[in-house]
């Protein structure tokens, strides 16, 4: 790697870590950067999981220290998510995920419109519609599998589920989302490590940026709360929709 490539990958890791720690969607930055650096698609995805896992881990630790993670509440979701993310990552090596590529942008657009039309979106806790056990089983199985199988927008789906079904306010929903995102990242990473689909030298450069970005982003969440998260959440979701729809149009 030359100095220009190292600098770009470091900056991509920093930007992705910052965005991921707040609203998810850092892969919009990191995966194209890895492909630009010349990595084959599967190696780019494996290397991205390696570098993003470290940033997510730091964000989770920051939320934990701030008292935003309720471990009894999230424990079952972690276990279910891990199992189904493993299953999803294995499945994607066996079948095509083209159908999901067509559907996901419109699901994300619906989430963004809902958030945009709800000015009090996540500002305070609400009455839960599901018990923590049922939520963990449903969310962990569906979104764990999805993250392993395809991935874009997983953080947004988790956040909206936490808000609408568990009644969490936005800071706690973001912390919950980071914990289960870390779980599915670790499960997918395990599969990529066993399949030897990771460039560890490139991952190391991006991890350095990820740790800085995740620290900055999670710190802003703790300090500024729901209004700040809502703005970043909307920007990231609309950016994901635009990117995924552009990819579909370019492919056709």
More confident residue, 34 or 237: 34
Share of the chain above pLDDT 70, in %: 81
Average confidence score pLDDT of the chain: 82
Contact 21, 217 (CB under 8 A): yes
d(CA 207, CA 185): 14
Q: Map residue 77 onto helix, strand or coil.
A: helix
Q: What token pair was written down for 198?
A: 């990771």
Share of the chain above pLDDT 90, in %: 29
The model's confidence at residue 117, banded by pLDDT at 50, 70 and 90, is low
Contact 23, 17 (CB under 8 A): no
Show me where the domains of the chain are located. Answer: 3-251
Which residue's entry shows tokens 């890895």? 34
pTM value?
0.76
Q: What token pair was written down for 177?
A: 């989302």
State residue 87's pLDDT score: 93
Question: Above 70 in pLDDT, residue 23?
Answer: no
- Give the angle subtended at the CA of 245 by the CAs of 218 and 56, to the nearest 5°: 20
d(CA 51, CA 16): 10
Question: Above 80 in pLDDT, residue 96?
Answer: no
Question: Above 60 in pLDDT, residue 137?
Answer: yes
154-165 and 200-251 helices, crossing angle to 10°: 80
The H or E element spanning position 248 is: helix 200-251
How many other C-beta atoms lie within 10 A of the C-beta of residue 143? Answer: 26
How many other C-beta atoms lie within 10 A of the C-beta of residue 39? Answer: 20
Question: Above 80 in pLDDT, residue 97?
Answer: no
State residue 15's pLDDT score: 85
State residue 34's pLDDT score: 86
Report the range of poorest mean pLDDT among 42-46, 70-74, 84-88, 105-109.
105-109
More confident residue, 38 or 80: 80
Contact 226, 170 (CB under 8 A): yes
d(CA 95, CA 100): 12
State residue 145's pLDDT score: 94
Question: Above 70 in pLDDT, residue 107?
Answer: no
Q: pLDDT (tens digit, 9 = 90+) per residue, 159-192?
A: 889 988 998 888 899 899 999 999 999 998 998 8
Q: pLDDT (tens digit, 9 = 90+) per residue, 195-248?
A: 888 999 999 999 999 899 888 888 887 777 666 666 776 776 677 677 777 877
């Amino acid at each position: 790697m030359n100095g220009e490539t190292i600098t770009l990958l470091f900056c991509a890791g920093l930007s992705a870590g910052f965005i991921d720690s707040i609203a998810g969607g850092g892969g919009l930055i990191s995966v194209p950067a890895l492909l630009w650096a010349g990595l084959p698609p599967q190696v780019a995805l494996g290397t991205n999981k390696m570098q993003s896992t470290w940033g997510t881990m730091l964000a989770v630790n920051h939320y934990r220290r701030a008292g935003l993670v309720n471990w009894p509440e999230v424990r079952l979701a972690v276990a279910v998510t891990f199992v189904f993310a493993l299953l999803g990552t294995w499945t994607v090596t066996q079948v095509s995920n083209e159908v999901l590529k067509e559907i996901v942008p419109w699901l994300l657009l619906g989430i963004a419109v809902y958030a945009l039309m709800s000015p009090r979106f996540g500002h305070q806790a609400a009455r839960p519609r599901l018990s923590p056990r049922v939520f963990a089983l449903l969310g962990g199985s569906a979104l764990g599998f999805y993250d392993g199988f395809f991935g874009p927008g997983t953080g947004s789906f988790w956040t909206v589920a936490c808000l609408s079904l568990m009644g969490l306010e936005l800071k706690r929903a973001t912390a919950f989302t980071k914990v289960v995102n870390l779980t599915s990242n670790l499960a997918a990473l395990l599969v990529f490590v066993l399949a030897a689909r990771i460039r560890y030298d490139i991952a190391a450069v991006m991890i350095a940026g990820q740790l800085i970005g995740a620290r900055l982003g999670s710190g802003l969440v703790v300090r500024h709360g729901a209004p700040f998260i809502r703005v970043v959440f909307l920007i990231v979701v609309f950016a994901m929709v635009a990117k995924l729809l552009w990819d579909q149009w370019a492919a056709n």
